[in-house]
Amino acid sequence: MTPPEQGSQVRAALGTIVAERGTEVLSAPAAMANLLKDLLPDGPKVVRMLVAAAEDRVADVLGEHMSHGMDAATAVSLAASRFTDASMFPGEVCAWIVGEFAIALGVLLPAAEGSPAVLPPLAAKPAAERTVSAGLSGRAGLSGRAGFAGDRTSVRPGVAGRAVVAYIACESMEAVIPVDLSARTVRASIGVGGWPKAIAVTPDRARAYVASYTGDSLTAIEIGTGRAEPAIRTGRGPVAVAIAPDGAVAYVVNQEDDTVTPIDLATGRPGAPIATGSRPSAIAVAPDGATAYVTNHGAGTITPIKVKPAGSAVAAEPGEPVPVGSGPVAIAIAPDGETGYVANHGGGTITPIHLRTGVTGPAVRVAKHPVALAVTADGATVYVIGHGDGTVTPVLAVAAGPDLPPQLLPGSPIAVGRLPSAIALAGDGRTAYVTNYGDGTITPLTLASGAAEQPIAVGKRPWAIAIVS
């Protein structure tokens, strides 16, 4: 997915950097950020990706592979796979970036000016209308809470007699795929903006809102008709969305601006952006709607933001950031609103935090590159998605005393699909569903028996999920 208008510019920029500063700078994120802002002033998104490659030491990894006698094509392929695993960018984009780094290092010859230097990894074919039978074994679990929607996972309580439908945001298809979970059939896709990264459902289950990273927009989908409404402009690079418990405001996390945009859902009008920490990545709203919590991937913190409606606008008061761990990318709040749980992508850990006091507990190692989590309805268990090792890990939360976060006791990891990215629960609390980004599928998990049914093919690069019943 090489941006055609920027491919040759990126190659020229990397060549200039290496010629003037040497290859070492390719592994220096701060220096790369400064240089690329000047060399690629019209490409903030691609600059962010190239800096992420520097943070992940792509150039060093390529050098290490080559020093062990590996051929260039294999070295590039392995480095691209590692970068895809670590960065959460689409696989084809990571393959292109690693190829351009390899060309800048002189270990790979360009195929053509501005073209990808390596082929993207294989992905699942887009799904057509189909029925899939059950099978397979495994287990996982979570439960959502009424009145909340946000990030990549959204859960809504069930209504008797109503079909249970999962809405899957597929990055590479630039679409949302509705899946009838009872019939295990895939419905017609709904086009949205580029790189849909998050989806959230309103408390009345009338609309789903989809944040599109390259579209810089939020798109509403009418649940009853499947119609996408005109996109609402957000900040740059939206990656997460949460809806207030009363359904009045959507809060959109803009990674490229380091802001949150509040949007009045009655009018579709964006409010003034709210400052966050570096590289915000996820958001959750407390059950009382008074505070939103934003994870700052680049700063290793979360920012609590006091929010209060003020007419058609939102008055916001960001609080002091709270350190939580390396590369926080997801947050979930217990149903009682007392405790938050943060997934730290870089450290492979989760951190509990007592939200009223701001006291954090020890970060506990749970999985490789955790990217999503959710809390059961009774608040007793947190389920963590391990993007890097294809697992779901149940973590018991044991009360530790007044005004303290609970003690966390990880259980055994449960194998799911390749590169899982999100998890949601049907309204009856009996079944969880995991999106498998690398397989193009979702896996249903029966919680009582701990059995996983055969995955349902949904489309290319499914990243986020919301369930409406």
Query: Average pLDDT for residues 220-230, to the nearest whole number?
Result: 96
- Residue 265 clears pLDDT 90, i.e. is over it: yes
Instruction: Encode pLDDT of 360-408 as tens digits.
Output: 999 999 999 999 998 888 889 899 999 989 999 989 999 998 899 999 9
Backbone angles phi, psi at 347, to 5 degrees: -95, -10
Q: Across the chain, what does the average pLDDT equal?
A: 85
Q: How many CB atoms lie within 10 A of CB 92?
A: 22
Q: Does 464 lie in the same domain as 379? A: yes
Q: How far apart are CA 420 and CA 422, in angstroms?
A: 6
Residue with the bigger pLDDT between 88 and 160: it is: 88
* Structural domain total, the chain: 2
Question: pTM of the entire structure?
Answer: 0.79
Sign, CA dihedral 260-355-370-203, equals negative
pLDDT bin (cut points 50, 70, 90) of residue 56 is confident
Q: Does 26 lie in the same domain as 167? A: no
Q: How far apart are CA 61 and CA 76, in angstroms?
A: 9
Residue with the bigger pLDDT between 314 and 433: it is: 433
Q: Is 352 domain-assigned? A: yes
Q: Is 142 domain-assigned? A: no
Report how far apart, in Å, the C-alpha atoms of 18 and of each of 11, 22, 105, 106, 441 are.
11, 4, 8, 10, 40
**Domain residues for 85?**
7-105
The CA-CA-CA angle for residues 300, 301, 303, to 5°, reads: 155
pLDDT bin (cut points 50, 70, 90) of residue 299 is very high
Q: How far apart are CA 138 and CA 147, in angstroms?
A: 30
Residue with the bigger pLDDT between 7 and 466: it is: 466
The CA-CA-CA angle for residues 434, 438, 441, to 5°, reads: 45
pLDDT at residue 429, rounded to an integer = 75
Q: Is 112 domain-assigned? A: no
Q: How far apart are CA 233 and CA 417, in angstroms?
A: 34
Domain holding 290: CATH number? Answer: 2.130.10.10
Q: How far apart are CA 322 and CA 359, in angstroms?
A: 9
- Residue 355 clears pLDDT 90, i.e. is over it: yes
Q: How far apart are CA 348 and CA 387, in angstroms?
A: 10
pLDDT at residue 6, rounded to an integer = 75
Query: 251 forms bridges with which residues in the sheet?
Result: 242, 262
Q: Does 298 lie in the same domain as 404? A: yes
pLDDT bin (cut points 50, 70, 90) of residue 312 is low
Cβ(252)–Cβ(149) below 8 Å: no
Q: Does 197 lie in the same domain as 80? A: no
Q: Is 305 domain-assigned? A: yes
